[in-house]
Amino acid sequence: MAGKRNSESTDRQTNNKKRRFHSDGTPVWGNRIGPGVWVTCVKGKERQAVGELHDLFDSLASELWPEQDANLSEEDEGLSIEEQIKKELSTIKKPGAKKRFVNLKTDTTCAIFISCRPPVDPVTLIETHIANVQKTGIARTKFCHRFVPVSASCVTNIPEIQGLCRAVLDPWFAKEPERKFTYKIEIRTRNHTNPGRDILIKTVAACVPEVHTVNLTNPEVFILVEVFKSTFSISVTKEYYNLLKYNVVEIAARYAKEHGTSGEEPAKPQTDAA
């Protein structure tokens, strides 16, 4: 009898390890999550924030990558209204359906991760959104605060981090081979201990081409590193400090102060992961 119970317990553990989706259809967290976007939000409003992020990102993606919407429309040509509704419902209900944006549950207060499918580029997506907020003072979200794009991710062991950093950094700096940039590694860790912060920074810095130099006060380039549990993620951007670390609450507030308007005022910050 004891042997049977042990066997059943082992089977349940094996099934949990193999499970790719939660009961509500959202993917189970994995070590390789990118590309996508990290977002911090108001404490206790994670579910509402996910909803407004889907609306925001779908709207931006339709403007930036309209060909994807055109391809989807071509697939629906010739279908009756009933068939189109049936197809849409089956896509929503199917856990593994290929959606443009998918929420990966972090089970962490105030921290949201939305994965992106090609052709969506998370850096372009977020830089566009931040530029819009800076121009209009309208955040378009009520519960979201800080946005961090993720170009790629890997497990937090040194060899994989080195390979990932070179795969991301070499092509980025190669776009302007004649320039010598100053840069800073902006790192944030959550629920993570080893490797330590200093080791991670040294590992990333060693992968930056030697012609570029570190500047901790006024860099031209920011290498954004987010470490969550055993997942390491990275992206490269500019103007990060001037744009208030991509915090739309602060950008909208600055706009309101400068222009004497209020725009769409997001909820007051109450985050544990700002």
Distance between CA atoms of residues 244 and 259, nearest Å: 17
User: What was the pLDDT predicted at 269?
Assistant: 54
Residue of higher predicted confidence among 4 and 43 = 43
pLDDT of residue 181: 98
**The pLDDT value given to residue 193:** 86
Q: Which of 61-75, 81-95, 97-111 has the lowest mean pLDDT?
A: 81-95
Residues 6+ apart with CB under 8 A from 64: 120, 124, 125, 128
pLDDT digits (tens, 9 = 90+) for 6-65: 555 555 554 444 455 445 444 454 556 779 999 999 999 999 999 999 999 999 999 999
Q: Taking a C-beta distance cutoff of 8 angstroms, is the pair 251, 133 a contact? A: yes
CB 270, CB 42: distance < 8 Å: yes
CA distances (Å), 60 to each of 53, 55, 225, 238, 259, in order? Answer: 10, 9, 24, 20, 25
Q: What is the pLDDT of residues 233-255, one digit of tens each?
A: 999 999 999 999 999 999 999 99
CATH among 3.30.420.40, 3.40.50.300, 3.30.2130.30, 2.60.120.580 for 31-259? 3.30.2130.30
pLDDT at 236: 98
Taking the C-alpha atoms of residue 46 and residue 101, their distance in angstroms, rounded to an integer, is 16
Residue recorded with tokens 């105030």 = 110
* Residue scoring higher pLDDT (85 or 5): 85
Q: With cut-offs at 50, 70 and 90, classify the pLDDT of residue 274.
A: very low
Q: What is the mean pLDDT of the segment spanning 247-267?
A: 82
pLDDT digits (tens, 9 = 90+) for 149-208: 999 999 999 999 999 999 999 999 999 999 999 999 999 999 998 999 999 999 999 999
Across the beta sheet with 101-104, the strand order is 101-104, 111-116, 36-41, 144-150
Beta strands in 20-78 (DSSP E): 36-41
The strands making up 182-190's β-sheet, listed across from edge to edge, are 152-155, 231-237, 221-228, 182-190, 213-214
The structural domains of the chain, with segments of one domain joined by +, span: 31-259
Percent of the chain having pLDDT more than 70? 72
| Residue 99 banded pLDDT, cuts 50, 70, 90 | confident
The structure's pTM equals 0.79
Over the stretch 205-233, which tens digit does the pLDDT of each residue have?
999 999 999 999 999 999 999 999 999 99
